[in-house]
Structure 1
Amino acid sequence: MRRQTALLYLASLLCVPLLGLADAQAADIAHVSMQRVLQESQLGRDAEARLQERFSPKTEPFAEKEMAIRQLQAALERDKPLMSEAQVEKKETEIRQRIQAFEQDFSAVQRELMQAQQEEAAKILEPAGVALKALAEKKKLSAVFESSQSGILYLDPESDLTDELIEKMNKN
């Protein structure tokens, strides 16, 4: 019980300055959508192009394999009334095996793609941090938040620096 009371007291102490912050220093806080920075900046578009070039040849065969599995499933559904129980079971087993092999192979490529995306994002985040620091100092901001992070209930659209950050990064 004491612990809960102490936590409530600490929370109230932290909230009191924040309540006044909205009136006194609203211009000192801004936000940025890093997702948009990663997608719309020139560095982000270049990274996406590199990923496409690297992974398109690896992912294209999966579309063909998926189509073949779907065709087998459709043929089974169409011909099922004409097939014996053993034939149906054999076809279902074949389809399950193909699906399992497809998922196993695809998950390996997906893991590799996710790793490559993280590496490419890391290459963008460093220059984004430098550009954001310069932008925040220029605008005399005391804080810049990532707009998609949970816990933020309201963001003034006027405090969004994403477009300016992308522009600054592209100039650099």
Structure 2
Amino acid sequence: MMLLSRRFALGLAAALCLASPAMAEEFRVGFVNTDRIIREANPAKAAQAKLEQEFSRREKELGDMGTALKAASDKFERDAPTLSESQRGQRQKQLVDQDREFQRKRREFQEDLNARKNEELQQVLERANRVVRQVAEQEKYDLILQEAVYINPKHDITDKVIRALNAAR
């Protein structure tokens, strides 16, 4: 499987058009839609479920922390007119500190989640690339593209790859 730049792919397509019809018929090109594989293949769905389970507790904690911060802010807004200047300043400082802590934890959560998503996605893509190679070798494809502006559906082997990935469990 080769991932080609668009310029190279266009040059290759032009060369194929100029080649003799017999030669063009022997050259087999396939296309794989990586986005569909990530959305539809069982290993990708399993990775997503694993991430949801792994991060659900932290996500709930963040939600609870956000709710508590909102409630504290609303209470402060209601109580502010009756508070002394020093009490109002103290409560504002507490709210700012709480918000800063909430933002920090939310940022850490997002960074951790993104890092784990990338790890899981990389594993799924590596498996998918192995399956694409197997399909290409078995069916005698000369070139498999992963990105294209347009592809004739008859060259799309994404369904075959998804079926092979799903069966490889």
Which whole-Å CA distance do the structure 2 matches of 1:153 and 1:31 have between them?
11
Structure 2 regions of 5+ residues with no counterpart?
1-6
Task: Compute the displacement of 1:108 (Å).
Answer: 2.1
What amino acid maps onto 1:64 in structure 2?
D
Which whole-Å CA distance do the structure 2 matches of 1:79 and 1:158 have between them?
68
- Per the alignment, do residues 138 and 101 of structure 1 end up closer, same or farther by CA in structure 2, a change over 3 Å counting? same
Structure 1 regions of 5+ residues with no counterpart?
1-11
Residue pairs, 1:140-151, within 5 angstroms = 140-147=140-147
Moved more, 34-43 or 96-105: 34-43
Other-structure match for 1:165: 161
Residue pairs, 1:59-138, within 5 angstroms = 59-76=59-76, 82=81, 86=85, 90-138=90-138
Which whole-Å CA distance do the structure 2 matches of 1:154 and 1:14 have between them?
12
> For 1:55-112, what per-residue CA distance to the aligned partner results, in whole angstroms no more than 9, with x for missing partners?
11122100111122233344455666x3669466554433332221112122223222
What amino acid maps onto 2:166 in structure 1?
N
What amino acid maps onto 2:42 in structure 1?
Q
Scaled by the length of structure 2, what TM-score is found?
A: 0.69
Which whole-Å CA distance do the structure 1 matches of 2:112 and 2:49 have between them?
16
> For 1:42-65, what per-residue CA distance to the aligned partner results, in whole angstroms no more than 9, with x for missing partners?
211222222222211122100111
Say yes or no: does 1:30 pair with 2:30: yes
Percent identical among aligned pairs is: 21
State which of 14, 17, 23 in structure 2 corresponds to 1:19: 14
> For 1:110-137, what per-residue CA distance to the aligned partner results, in whole angstroms no more than 9, with x for missing partners?
2222222222223222321121012223
Other-structure match for 1:50: 50
Which whole-Å CA distance do the structure 2 matches of 1:36 and 1:116 have between them?
20
